[in-house]
Amino acid sequence: MPTNLAEFLPRLKRLVPRLRGKRIGVVGDLMLDRYLWGTASRLSPEAAVPIVDFVEQSECLGGAGNVAANLAALAARVEMFGVIGGTKDAADEPGTALRNCLRAANIVDKGVIADAERVTTVKTRIIARQHHIVRVDRERREPLRTETEERLLRSLFGALKRVDALILSDYDKGLITDAFADRILSACHRLHVPVFVKPKTSRLYAYRGAKAIVCNVKEAGMFVSRTLTDEKSVEETGRALLAHFGCGAVLITRSGKGMSLFEESSPRHLNIPATSFEVTYARVGQPGIDRSAGGRQVFDVTGAGDTVLSVLALAAAAGASLPDAATLANTAAGVVVGKLGTASVRPEELLHALDEIRR
């Protein structure tokens, strides 16, 4: 069921201020995104690779931390739950940097547990003149120790009574297992806390009872072992995933084709088209939009799925219907893909993007 974005705009604009102050919990795989910025004008004599002259280093939240950062950027009150490397007294070096990033974003980190037998996941990207040269990952993927998992769950369960929604962000780093997810969803069900999930393809049945599942078109195809090539295959897959997950809704993000929302309570699905404006390189990180071209130029899709998940959950917690929440999430993702690297969207940017659609 295609829809015209203009029909949603008045409600969406009224919705944006209501996002402020909503309490959202985020549990998932924490990562530190580290960027080494430099210049490159020559090749190495040792191999056919560029020599990057280091200029500066920057760090930001990745993985489930980026979901939390997106929520905080929209003025939500966010509590983070996850595991980093280190001891009870001191995190490892990237874990300390990650905590600093959380606190700088006004994200409560009391639920972030340090474990001496793990390392903080770090994804180090080397960027030369805005070109991504290489990424180096440091991580552990084995399941949590029972002791660490119980500490994390105690902290999370103690917070559930004060949150409006919970986001489960699974990056397959060992934190979220079937049993772990089942205990969280059971606790949330008892307390009537809606759960929004970004799943991984290794777990198909672990999220029963979730309010909504968010996945991209490739992930959706992997869940049902088929390639989604047309509208019919997308519709059949969306309906199949509703049954597989036993959830209230499935949102499939489809890049340039927008999103498709399937709700258990509705016999028809909703197609949300991608916004038609283009974000040019010269405007990266700026709210302004260039309409000189007819299509969209996506600069960097890093973290766009996190933006969709966070805005969907936050808007629903603020009282929006899932179609309205998904449409707002689609608009937010359109802003984020015009920024270099892991990014988030601010309320004024979201309102500006909605104004541009109106025009």
Residues 6 or more apart whose Cβ sits within 8 Å of residue 180: 144, 149, 153
pLDDT of residue 342: 56
As a whole number, the mean pLDDT across the chain is: 87
pLDDT of residue 276: 47
CB 175 within 8 A of CB 83: yes
* Tens-place pLDDT, residues 8-66: 688 899 999 999 999 999 999 999 999 999 999 999 999 999 999 999 999 999 999 99
**50-63/121-128 β-pairing:** unpaired
Query: How far, rounded to the nearest angstrom, does the alpha carbon of residue 273 sit from its chain's CA centroid?
Result: 20
pLDDT of residue 55: 96
State the pLDDT confidence band at 338, using cuts at 50, 70 and 90: low
Of residues 76 and 281, which shows the higher confidence score? 76
* Tens-place pLDDT, residues 51-71: 999 999 999 999 999 999 999
Of residues 341 and 352, which shows the higher confidence score? 352
Residues with a catalytic annotation lie at 306
pLDDT of residue 99: 97
Query: How far, rounded to the nearest angstrom, does the alpha carbon of residue 268 sit from its chain's CA centroid?
Result: 26
CA dist 256 → 123, 127, 216, 235, 309 (Å): 27, 26, 12, 17, 17
Phi-psi region of 217 (alpha: psi -120 to 50; beta: other; left: phi over 0): alpha
Phi-psi region of 238 (alpha: psi -120 to 50; beta: other; left: phi over 0): alpha
pLDDT at 295 over 70: no
pLDDT at 162 over 80: yes
State the pLDDT confidence band at 256, using cuts at 50, 70 and 90: confident
